């Protein structure tokens, strides 16, 4: 199997993933998964598609992650891994879709409007 690549996005984060056969190591921006995401919850989020298909020790994953915060990056990476796994084996798509890993979360920060301090917040009204 040659290298399979996929892209995942969430908020402002973009994850480019390169999956090849191996022993289950995940390298993110030249650091290990545990180094890059010290939180076990974020590590769990990243590994969810692999755990669903019981393929944690099957593939080596090299990741290029840019933009966003750590939560957005973890979810972008989850989407990218799920998309790469579907490219490898199309029969896995229904199992991943059922868990919700194939859906791109479209929610992003609303833009700031002119004449207001934030997107929806207004300046305090003064009658006098």
Tens digit of each residue's pLDDT (9 = 90 or more) over 49-99: 999 998 888 899 999 999 999 999 999 999 999 999 999 989 989 999 999
Is pLDDT above 80 for 1? Answer: no
**What's the whole-number average pLDDT of the chain?**
93
The pLDDT assigned to 128 comes to: 86
The Cα diameter of the chain in Å comes to: 73
The pLDDT assigned to 2 comes to: 83
Whole-angstrom distance, CA of residue 73 vs CA of residue 43 = 11
Is residue 44 within 8 A of residue 85, CB to CB? The reply is no
* β-strand partners of 41: none
**Average of per-residue pLDDT across 94-118:** 94
Predicted TM-score of the model (pTM): 0.90
**Average of per-residue pLDDT across 23-35:** 93
């Amino acid at each position: 199997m040659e290298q399979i690549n996929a892209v995942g996005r969430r908020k402002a984060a973009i994850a480019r993933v390169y999956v090849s056969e191996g022993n289950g190591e995940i390298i993110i921006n030249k650091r290990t998964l545990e180094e890059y995401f010290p939180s076990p919850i974020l590590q769990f989020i990243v590994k969810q598609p692999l755990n669903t298909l019981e393929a944690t020790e099957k593939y080596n994953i090299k990741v290029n992650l840019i933009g966003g915060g750590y939560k957005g990056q973890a979810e972008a990476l989850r989407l990218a891994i799920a998309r790469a796994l579907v490219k490898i084996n199309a029969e896995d798509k229904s199992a991943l879709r059922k868990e919700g890993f194939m859906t791109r979360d479209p929610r992003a920060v609303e833009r700031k409007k002119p004449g207001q301090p934030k997107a929806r917040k207004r300046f305090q009204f003064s009658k006098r």
